[in-house]
Amino acid sequence: MRVEYNNKFIGNYFLDFLVDEKIIVEIKKGERFAPKNIDQVKAYLGSTNLKLAILVHFGNNEVKFKRIINQY
């Protein structure tokens, strides 16, 4: 996904999945939701103006997910 600021290209985001051009799904491995992972997903939401993302963690014994809503 191309990212621009003040009409200038500043970089690319590489989303794991974009469902129906409405929901970001970001996949991680580990046992907990790290603050940097949550910040990453919030940045994706802010730059795309989408409302919902799902952060999914695959751990040793379970799968956990967290819904993150863009409040801006």
What's the pLDDT tens digit per position in 18-61?
999 999 999 999 888 899 999 889 988 988 889 999 999 999 88
Q: State residue 1's pLDDT score.
A: 76
Place of tokens 């999945």: 17
State the Cα–Cα distance between residues 15 and 53, nearest whole angstrom. Answer: 11
Question: Considering just the CA atoms, what is the radius of gyration of the chain in Å?
Answer: 13
Q: State residue 13's pLDDT score.
A: 79
Of 61, 59, 50, 62, the C-alpha closest to 17 is 50
